[in-house]
């Protein structure tokens, strides 16, 4: 039986949840997720959990924080002056915004706290600091692309 190895392109159905049972993502009702194992397209623990699986196999994996989105980083909390918000916007805890860094790259932040003259923005990934649980079902291991090597 063919088993998943690094470099394989796979299709997998998944159900991701937190340790308290809360679902954060699932492929239910959608096409299976397709990606190349070991390419960095998914978190390390997800990649590692697929290694050795056969087509049709199902299993549940527990992913430690370091193999998921890493620990929460207090340096990703930023204080931002409330008077820099548009006048018609009322900042509220939980509001999701997009910031632009000095290099012109956009990144998501969430308002973590609203103070009198500023807000605290959290740039951590929403799942940072969380161990994750995934129920996996391997649907397909795609044939590797053919490579023609010319002398």
CATH number of 44's domain: 3.10.50.40
Answer yes or no: is 86 within a domain: yes
Say if residue 13 is in the same domain as residue 60: yes
Answer yes or no: is 90 within a domain: yes
How many CA atoms does the CB half-sphere of 95 hold within 13 Å? 15
Answering whether pTM is above 0.75, one says: yes
Say if residue 138 is in the same domain as residue 66: yes
Say if residue 26 is in the same domain as residue 64: yes
Kindly list the strands in the beta sheet with 118-122, ordered across the sheet, starting from the edge strand earlier in the chain. Answer: 77-81, 118-122, 106-114, 96-100
**Residue among 67, 71, 38 nearest 133 (CA):** 67
Say if residue 66 is in the same domain as residue 138: yes
The burial of 109, by beta-carbon neighbours within 10 Å (0-12 exposed, 13-18 middle, 19 or more buried), is given as: buried
Say if residue 98 is in the same domain as residue 133: no
Nearest-angstrom CA–CA distance, 63 and 68: 6
Say if residue 39 is in the same domain as residue 13: yes
What is the tally of structural domains in the chain? 2
Confidence of residue 110 (pLDDT cuts 50, 70, 90): very high
- The two tokens of residue 75 are 């340096």
Buried b (16+ CB within 10 A) or exposed e, 122-131: bbbbebbebe
Residue 90 structural domain: 74-122
Domain of 78, CATH number, reads 2.40.10.330
pLDDT of residue 142: 86
pLDDT, tens only, 48-97: 999 999 999 999 999 999 999 999 999 999 999 999 999 999 999 999 99
């Amino acid at each position: 039986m063919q088993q998943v190895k690094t470099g394989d392109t796979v299709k997998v159905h998944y159900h991701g949840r937190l340790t308290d049972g809360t679902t954060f993502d699932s492929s239910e009702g959608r096409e299976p997720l397709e990606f190349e194992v070991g390419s960095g397209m998914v978190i390390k623990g997800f990649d590692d959990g697929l290694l050795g699986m056969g087509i049709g196999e199902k299993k549940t994996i527990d992913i430690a924080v370091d193999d998921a989105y890493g620990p929460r980083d207090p340096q990703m909390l930023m204080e931002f002056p409330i008077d820099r918000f548009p006048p018609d916007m009322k900042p509220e805890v939980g509001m999701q915004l997009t910031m632009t860094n000095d290099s012109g790259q956009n990144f998501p932040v969430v308002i973590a706290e609203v103070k009198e003259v500023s807000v605290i923005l959290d740039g951590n990934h929403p799942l940072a600091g969380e161990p994750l649980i995934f129920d996996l079902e391997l649907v397909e291991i795609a044939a590797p692309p053919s490579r023609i090597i010319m002398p």
